[in-house]
Chains A and B, each alone.
With several copies, the nearest count.
Chain A
């Protein structure tokens, strides 16, 4: 099963036993995607932790 990343439109391969609430990283842009619903399939951006490297 494949889907389209909502952030970068990249292809996302999904496991057959996909569960709601699972977090899947997009292979192209690294966005952490949350499975909002399985049928119909809906992916959304999971909240991110900001990295700070100083000045």
Chain B
């Protein structure tokens, strides 16, 4: 059994980390921190987990050494005290955006402040197993992934890999996302009478995850637009790509199969009939699966590529545990093989 502690455990990602790790066959959850709820029972923040453990939140300075530290702090916090976390554990997984990008100047451009620990950037591996498995397996420090970025990357990666994407035109990705993405902090934007039934273009241009998609796909022309729609969990990336050469359905089946052969958490969804012909986050709630697929417009050669995930799972906590399994040599599926809840 390995000892894992969670830093910043009172948020939604913290809750999912606990939900998975408390049931993980090879993990013992040692501590979970929260400054705000220090001393309180963990189920004060995670009512659905009542009775699963007798953990209480501890303040950060009470953290003891352990095998793996999973950081679930707001952006900008992890990089300020990374040296301290590194003294407490040999392996660190940071779910925030602090160590996702390799280039500090790119970080500053997108996040608006200079990176606080640029020397650490090269020591972190980008934590997307489907693209980075070997590097993660051998890494001590792994970053999390942006949920919108992951849905977009997994949707389009097979087309990039098959050399179908015209790098000049690149991709237009419109990502529709649920409210839990914005986290636990309540405010005017998350007030139910305003948020319910709204179709809100909260980041039509300039969304930070653009840099992550550019880095992961090695593609400059990434045109990302974010729209908030009514759901709590769920992301659907709808990506428009104009292929360089004529493509057929069979070419696309081959591209997606080859890209994701043997992947434990990626499913190809491309049906002719039925309610769920294309990926829909509706069937992924609480699961670590990513459903990918496409639609081909034969008249114009436009490929519409889809990527659907649960933003709190494959978009954050589930993906972090998938990386932990790889780093610790466990079965990559350990603690993560639950299917989505449906209907919900």
- Identify the A interface with B (CB < 8 A): 7-10, 28-31, 48-49, 51, 53-55
Known: A29-B270, A53-B202, A55-B147. A8 touches B253 (CB 8 A): yes
Contact A8 B250 (CB under 8 A): yes
Query: How far is A55 from B146 in the complex, measured between Cα atoms in Å?
Result: 8
Q: Per a CB cutoff under 8 Å, which of A9, A28, A53 touches B187?
A: A53
In the complex, what residues of A have CB within 8 A of residue B181's CB? Answer: 54-55
Taking CB atoms, residues of chain B closer than 8 Å to A31 are: 272
Question: Are the C-beta atoms of A10 and B183 separated by less than 8 Å?
Answer: no
CA distance A14 to B277 in the complex (A): 24
29 cross-chain CB contacts under 8 A: A7-B250, A8-B249, A8-B250, A8-B253, A8-B270, A9-B250, A9-B254, A10-B253, A10-B257, A28-B253, A28-B268, A29-B270, A29-B271, A29-B272, A30-B271, A30-B273, A30-B274, A30-B277, A31-B272, A48-B272, A48-B273, A49-B273, A51-B273, A53-B182, A53-B187, A53-B189, A53-B202, A55-B146, A55-B183
Task: Provide the residues of chain A in CB contact with B254, threshold 8 Å.
Answer: 9
Complex partner residue of B272 from A9, A30, A53, A55, CB under 8 angstroms:
A30
Q: Which residues of A contact B299 (CB under 8 A)?
A: none
B185 within 8 A of partner (CB): yes
Cα distance, A51 to B277, chains bound together (Å): 12
Chain B residues within 8 Å of A, Cβ to Cβ: 146-148, 181-183, 185, 187, 189, 202, 249-250, 253-254, 257, 268, 270-274, 277
Q: Which residue of B202, B253, B274 is within 8 Å of A9 (Cβ)?
A: B253
Closest residue of chain A to B74 (Cβ to Cβ) is: A54
Q: Which residues of B contact A53 (CB under 8 A)?
A: 182, 187, 189, 202
CA distance A51 to B271 in the complex (A): 13
The residue in chain B whose Cβ has the minimal distance to the Cβ of A53 is: B189
Shortest Cβ distance from B277 into A: residue: A30
For B146, B254, B272, which residue has the most chain A Cβ atoms within 10 angstroms?
Answer: B272
| Chain A residues in 8 Å Cβ range of B147 | 55
Across the interface, name the chain A residue whose C-beta is closest to B270: A29
A10 — which chain B residues lie within 8 A by C-beta? 253, 257
Query: Which of A7, A49, A54 gathers most chain B CB within 10 Å?
Result: A54
Q: How far is the CB of B142 from chain A (nearest CB, A)?
A: 19
CA distance A48 to B273 in the complex (A): 9
> Nearest B residue to A45 by beta-carbon distance?
B272
B264 to A: closest C-beta gap in Å: 17
Inside 8 A of B187's CB, which chain A residues have their CB?
Answer: 53
Given A53-B187, A54-B182, 14 new contacts (CB under 8 A): A7-B250, A8-B270, A9-B250, A10-B257, A29-B271, A30-B271, A30-B272, A30-B274, A31-B272, A48-B272, A53-B202, A54-B181, A54-B183, A54-B185
Which residues of the partner chain A approach B272 to less than 8 Å between Cβ atoms? 29-31, 48
A11 to chain B, nearest CB (A): 10
Q: Which of A28, A31, A49 has the most CB of B within 10 A?
A: A28
Give every chain B residue within 8 A of A7 (Cβ-Cβ).
249-250
* B253:A29 contact, CB within 8 angstroms: yes
Question: Residue among A7, A9, A29 with the most chain B CB within 10 A?
Answer: A29
